[in-house]
Structure formats: C-alpha cells, structure tokens
C-alpha cells in the first residue's frame, strides 16, 4: 500500500521531527506549514536528497478551504493520504477571565477545528479503503488541565475524543518538550519543569516523533483509541 503521511505544523519543533522520522520509515510526506516556508522547504529537500519523497505545502489548518486544497495537492503529488498527524497547534498563557472571543476562537479554530478540517479532507479515501491511521497530538494539559492555559487545555482535551470508525485513531500527549512553544516560560521555569519530570529532563521533539512513528507503524495495527503520554512520567 502507498504510504503517504500528512503532518501539520511540520516546519518546526515536534512536527518537524515527526515528518523526518516518518520519511525515514518510508512514508512520502506532506510537510504543512503556516509561516516558516523556508524551514519547511529545506526539510522537504533534505528528505528528497536522502532518497525519500516530500513536499512542503502552506495552509492555515483553521481554514477549511485551504486544508482541502492542501490535501488535494498532496494527493496529486504524492498519492492519497494514508496517515494523518494533527500536530499544528498554538498555546499561550492567558488568565481564563481575560480570554477574548478572538483568542478563544483562534485556539479552538487551530487546535481543534484544524484537526476536524484535516480529518474531513482525508476521510473519504480512508473510508473507501477501510484503512488509515490518524495520530492527534494532544498534551498532558489536555489530560489534566492547566492553570493559565485553560483554553489550550480545553482544545487538547477535545482532541482525545475525536475517533471515526474503521480507521485507527490514537493520541500522543507530550509532556514538556523543548521547542519554541515553551521558550516563553523562561529558562528558570523550564529548569523547574525538568526537575518535576520523573525522568529528570525536558522531552525532545524526537521523543514525541518516536511515539508517533510507533502508533503509525504496523506494530500498532491493533491499537486504536489510545493515548500515549510521551512525558517522562510528568503526570504519573
Ligand atoms: P512550535 O514549536 O510552536 O511549532 C508549531 C508548529 O505549528 C509550527 O510548525 C507552526 O508553523 C505550526 N502552526 C501553528 N499554527 C498553525 C496553523 N494555524 N496552521 C498550520 N500550522 C500551524 O510547537 P511545538 O512545541 O512543536 O508543538 C507541536 C504540537 O505539540 C502542538 O499541537 C502543541 O500543542 C503540542 N504540544 C507541545 C508541547 C511542548 O511542550 N512543546 C507539549 C504538549 C503538546 P509555522 O512555523 O510555519 O508558522
């Protein structure tokens, strides 16, 4: 079977590591990005130079029409999408009582609406084939909630509930992973968070990518509806 993966938000951080690992595992990869075109193009080129197949496609996952166009582009250039990784996400520290309508709608639109848009776009082919694999990147904050990140935590909790039938749908819930997203917390807080992590360090994007690659592999062919926390034991 033709193995084509679409990874959203793959220009940087966790998504980038996921796209690289899936390419190594033999998938043709559609690298979605929002603003960092150069990074996405460079990764696609690197994969092609190593004998793989990859394209970079811009789309705001919150924009349903843009997602449709992206998926049709991926199908035309790589083949039908058999593996979808919903990784694109935004986070931010805001007190719940201060969240504006625009901020709330944007969190929901990107983190949850984005997954809805991509799933709906790839679903017709997966349903037709009665096969397919979807991995949604949630968060430990989606499993336990988080102060100052309530809107983010709500969207990540909702992702756990997304599960169409005949298709394997699993979640990876990363702990604190050292990417651009968490730099806003500052070095002192990041050191504290590493100390609070039973395995004694922050995660790397590759730690999450390994979990995604496992769930996407044939070794996980009887696993669906699962949440794999790649968190160094943070919420044990
Ligand atoms: P990051 O370093 O901030 O990177 C975010 C990625 O998402 C970038 O590639 C960005 O694209 C893309 N993106 C953002 N909004 C988008 C949109 N509307 N449409 C398409 N792409 C969009 O984040 P990260 O730390 O790698 O996090 C990746 C995922 O893991 C997120 O869903 C996050 O919630 C989740 N997560 C992260 C952590 C952590 O500690 N880092 C923990 C738990 C869960 P451009 O760069 O092209 O704009």
Question: pLDDT by residue (tens digit) across 209-222?
Answer: 999 999 999 999 99
CA dihedral over 139, 143, 149, 151, signed as positive or negative = positive
**Ligand 1 centroid, distance to 181 Cα (angstroms):** 7
- Beta-ladder partners of 171: 136, 227
**Ligand 1 centroid, distance to 78 Cα (angstroms):** 24
Are 54 and 30 in contact by the 8 Å Cβ rule? The answer is: yes
Helices (H), 25-109: 37-49, 64-77, 101-107
Rg of the Cα atoms in the chain: 17
Question: pLDDT by residue (tens digit) across 24-77?
Answer: 999 999 999 999 999 999 999 999 999 999 999 999 999 999 999 999 999 999
Per-residue pLDDT 10s for the chain (236 aa) are: 579 999 999 999 999 999 999 999 999 999 999 999 999 999 999 999 999 999 999 999 999 999 999 999 999 999 999 999 999 999 998 889 999 999 999 999 999 999 999 999 999 999 999 999 999 999 999 998 887 789 999 999 999 887 667 899 999 999 999 999 999 999 999 999 999 999 999 999 999 999 999 999 999 999 999 999 999 999 88
Q: Pocket around ligand 1: residues whose beta carbon is below 6 Å from it?
A: 8-15, 32-36, 60-62, 87-91, 110, 137, 139, 174, 176-177, 179-182
Q: What predicted TM-score, i.e. pTM, was given to this entire model?
A: 0.98
Residue nearest atom 12 in ligand 1 by C-alpha distance: 9
């Amino acid at each position: 079977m033709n193995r084509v993966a679409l990874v959203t938000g793959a220009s940087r951080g966790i998504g980038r590591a996921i796209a690289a690992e899936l390419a190594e595992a033999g998938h043709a990869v559609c690298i979605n990005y929002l603003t960092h075109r150069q990074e996405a193009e460079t990764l696609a080129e690197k994969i092609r130079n190593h004998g793989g197949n990859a394209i970079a496609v811009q789309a705001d996952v919150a924009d349903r029409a843009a997602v449709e166009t992206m998926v049709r582009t991926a199908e035309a250039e790589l083949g039908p999408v058999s593996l979808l990784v919903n990784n694109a996400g935004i986070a931010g520290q805001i007190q719940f009582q201060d969240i504006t309508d625009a901020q709330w709608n944007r969190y929901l639109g990107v983190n949850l609406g984005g997954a809805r848009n991509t799933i709906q776009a790839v679903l017709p082919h997966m349903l037709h084939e009665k096969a397919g694999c979807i991995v949604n990147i949630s968060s430990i904050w989606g499993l336990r909630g988080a102060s100052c990140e309530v809107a983010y935590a709500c969207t990540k909790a909702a992702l756990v509930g997304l599960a169409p039938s005949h298709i394997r749908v699993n979640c990876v819930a990363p702990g604190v992973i050292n990417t651009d997203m968490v730099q806003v917390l500052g070095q002192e807080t990041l050191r504290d968070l590493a100390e609070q992590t039973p395995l004694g360090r922050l995660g790397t994007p590759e730690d999450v990518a390994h979990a995604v690659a496992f769930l996407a592999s044939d070794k996980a062919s009887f696993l669906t509806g699962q949440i794999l926390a790649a968190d160094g034991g943070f919420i044990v």
